[in-house]
Structure formats: structure tokens, C-alpha cells
Amino acid sequence: MILRHFITLAILTLTISGCSLLPTKKVEIVSKPIQIDIMQPDLPRPVQLTAPQWYVVSEAVITNPCKKTISFDPKKFDENGVEQLKRPKACAKEDTENPDWPDGYTYLDRFLDEMKEQNNGEVVFVATTIGDYKVMAEDMQELKRYIKQLGEVVIYYRDVTMPSGEKGVGVAIEKKGE
């Protein structure tokens, strides 16, 4: 009976500690960066804008030039063979480019006439000052700057997250005088 217990105990001991008797395998830990493919989102559709029609008016008189009726000496012709004419320095009102304009017709008069024509004879319009136009133009440039710079940030993130070799393309910078 004692022997049986002894054998059982010996088997149990060997079973529990058996793995420690086997040779160990060395585990090697290596740090290696892995390429993560980041899905690039669709960028928002481009803006579609319509430029407003500006009117600049003052009480300056609009020039109403004479119609071109005088030949050059010698005669001049354009590339299509049509004779080029010059304007006389003075002429009758009916010989001007806009004979229906009254004398001293100003930019303000023309603007008011145009507004009446657009609004069934009523004078109605939204006005701004030169100073406010400047403010608006400066604000527009500031918004443009922000949109463009934000675009560059988008390009930066695309460049650094796209697989090697692929590259984003920047927006064009307009340089005057080139």
C-alpha cells in the first residue's frame, strides 16, 4: 500500500515538473516597423463660384467719343484689309458713339439708368464703399490663403502616409511677372 502511494507520488511529481526537464528554446524578440496601409479618403468636390458684377460709380462724366470717320494719311488697313479710321476731335452729337446720352452724362447717371432697366423702373441696389470693398477683398485673400495652406497640410499627410514612391501634388502658386 505504501509502495503504491510512493509510486503514485513519484509519477505525479514527474508529471508536474516534467517540462522543466526538457531543453528550453530561446525566444528572440525583434522590433520591426510594419507598413500600415492607410486608406486615403475622397477629398471634397471643388468649389464652384460665380464672381459678382461690380459697379464703380462717381459723378465723373463719361467720355462720349466721336465715331471714327477720318482716314489716315496714308491710309491704314488691318490684317483683313479693312481700312482703319480715326476719330475727329470734335463732332455733332449725332456723330458720337452714344448719341442718346445727354450732355454731361455721368457714371452715376448710367448706373441709375441701368438699375431702373433691371428693376422695372425702380432704383434699387446694394451698395458698398471703397473701404468696405477693400475689407472684403482682404478677407477673400485671407480665406484663399487658409484654403491653400490647409490643402498643403492634406498633401503633407498624404505624402507621409502613402506607400513609397507615391506622392501628392500641390496646388499651383501664382507668381506674377513670370
Partner 1 sequence: MAAMKESYEKQGQALMNMSRKNAEIEAEKAEYLAIFARHNLDMLAIKKPGLIENRFRNASDAVMEGLEDDTEALYNLSNPDAND
Does position 165 interact with partner 1 (CB under 8 A)? The reply is no
Q: Which stretch binds partner 1 (CB under 8 A): 11-19, 82-90, 117-125, 166-174?
A: 166-174
φ/ψ (deg, to 5) at 138:
-65, -40
Task: Please identify which residue in the block is written with the cell numbers 499651383.
Answer: 172
Return the DSSP state at 106. Answer: B
Classify 158 as helix, strand or coil. Answer: helix
Asked if 102 and 95 count as a contact pair (C-beta separation under 8 A), the reply is no
In terms of phi and psi (left: phi > 0; alpha: psi -120 to 50; beta: otherwise), the region of 147 is: alpha
CB nearer partner 1, residue 21 or residue 34: 34
Classify 61 as helix, strand or coil. Answer: strand
Q: Tell me which H or E stretch contains 72.
A: strand 70-77
Classify 108 as helix, strand or coil. Answer: helix
The least CB distance from residue 70 to partner 1, in Å, is 25
Q: Which of 4, 27, 160, 178 binds partner 1 (CB under 8 A)?
A: 160
Q: Which of 17, 20, 53, 80 binds partner 1 (CB under 8 A)?
A: 53
Q: Which of 6, 72, 125, 133 binds partner 1 (CB under 8 A)?
A: 133
Q: Which stretch binds partner 1 (CB under 8 A): 3-11, 21-29, 95-103, 145-153?
A: 145-153
Q: Which of 4, 25, 26, 42 binds partner 1 (CB under 8 A)?
A: 42
**Contact residues for partner 1, defined by CB under 8 A:** 32-33, 40-58, 60, 62, 107, 130, 133-134, 137-138, 140-142, 144-145, 147-149, 151-156, 158-160, 164, 168-176
